[in-house]
Amino acid sequence: MKISFRRIAGFLLIGFLLEAAFFAGVMLAPQVTGFLRVQGSGGHAPLLDEAWGVAEDLFYGKLPTEQERTYGAVRGMMESFKDPYTVFIEPPQTELQSQQLSGKFGGIGANVRRENDGSIVLSPFPDRPAAQAGVKEGDVLVKIDSTTITPEMKFEEVTSLLRGEVGTPVKVEVDRAGQKLAFNITRAEISVPSVTWRMLSQAPGVGYLKLNIFAQTSKDELIKGIEDLRKQGAQKLIFDLRDNGGGLLDSAIDIASQFVDGVVVSEKHRDGSQQDFKAEATGAARDLPLVVLVNGGTASASEIVSGALQDRGRAVLVGQKTYGKGSVQNVVPLSDGSSIHVTVAEWLTPKGRQITGKGLEPDVAVELTQDDAANGRDPQLDRAVTAFR
């Protein structure tokens, strides 16, 4: 059978990807298409049936459902590859990832985060459904429709309950300083920008751009940001890729193209062959001095871009060593909405440097402590202002 797949240059540590201050709703991002041939299970199926028969006959307790048994078998099979990025993803998480890469979704218009005590806290976007209904910053989520929210619930389960078709209702109950409040909210289409930008007040002539994810819309957003900063007088740029866990490979090539020409990344396959991915013919900011901010959360597609800019001498990297995720996954949707992520290749920087397990060392190392963050300080950004070549 033939199934389309999506090539993702994402940081596919699923917990990290979904736990990081996720938005309550997002869309679908088609990339490279191809196929997966499903082979027969041959002599292994009888062994699985035999093992299940024994467990079913002897187990003292409630038996798992057929779906739970199937998911467990597939998940175990993926784990046998002993690769952290070759994984099985159940339907809710698959949908969340697809939505995140699209840039829009049906939701209530609120940022969702988990606190250290396990509680889920809402931060409504201005003039969006949640805020319009009366939800306020810091409200603790207690119930969504008939589902009670507990600290043990998976984060993606909570966000998937908040999302749905545009125009559909959802009842949200919150705890506000000990008072229980309920809101009836109608879901709307929510667009989440992947790029934000501003002129730095502390550094005249320096424009600042932050990219949160490599999504379908990122190229156009970045070009718009660069053009706007030029109009405001930007003569230098700081490009912030801190805590950017990746996204779409095509988007990574598009983003790098705005700053550099030539080869952006090489993809090495298991047969030893390599494929070079080159920048577009023109870019929006190849003439402006550039500093890139990186840290331990800079991964995958972010490392592709950072590595290309560093290898070509195009930018100064400031901050902390990057994560070190340079493998390629094909994301293959399965018939019930779940998916498998299979590592199929490895990325190398233009100079042939390996990213996987190594990461990228910044040209200028600057730590950012918890005390800095708690007090609103950003020594990495402060140093970036003075790091231009």
Question: How does residue 154 score in pLDDT terms, banded at 50, 70 and 90?
Answer: confident
Farthest CA pair distance, the chain: 74
Name the more confident of 72 and 118: 72
* Structural domains for the chain: 104-191 (2.30.42.10), 195-384 (3.90.226.10)
Task: Give the span between the Cα atoms of 7 and 280, in whole angstroms.
Answer: 19
Name the more confident of 328 and 185: 185
Q: What is the CA radius of gyration of the chain?
A: 23
Cα→Cα distances 80→73, 74, 86, 107, 356, Å:
11, 10, 9, 37, 20
pLDDT in tens, 110-123: 878 777 688 888 98
Q: Please report the sign of the dihedral spanned by the C-alpha atoms of residue 245, residue 310, residue 352, residue 218.
A: positive
pLDDT in tens, 210-228: 998 898 889 999 999 999 9
The residue with tokens 């229980």 is: 180
Segment 273-291 mean pLDDT: 97
Contact 287, 236 (CB under 8 A): no
pLDDT in tens, 327-363: 888 888 888 888 898 999 999 999 999 999 999 999 9
With 0.85 as the threshold, say if the pTM is over it. no
Q: Which residues are catalytic?
A: 300, 311, 325
Task: Work out the number of other CB atoms within 10 angstroms of the CB of residue 53.
Answer: 10
Task: Give the span between the Cα atoms of 124 and 118, in whole angstroms.
Answer: 19
Instruction: State the pLDDT at residue 40.
Output: 37
Torsion, CA 310, CA 101, CA 5, CA 220, rounded to 10: -60
**H-type alpha helices, the chain:** 14-19, 44-58, 66-79, 91-102, 129-133, 155-162, 218-231, 249-257, 301-311, 370-374, 379-384
Tokens of 366: 């600057």
Task: Give the span between the Cα atoms of 362 and 323, in whole angstroms.
Answer: 12
pLDDT in tens, 92-108: 555 555 655 555 567 89
Which string of DSSP letters, residue by residue, matches 35-90?
--PPPP-TTHHHHHHHHHHHHHHH--SPPPPHHHHHHHHHHHHHHTT--TTSEEE-
pLDDT in tens, 289-328: 999 999 998 999 999 999 999 999 999 999 999 999 998 8
Q: Is the pLDDT of residue 1 over 60?
A: no
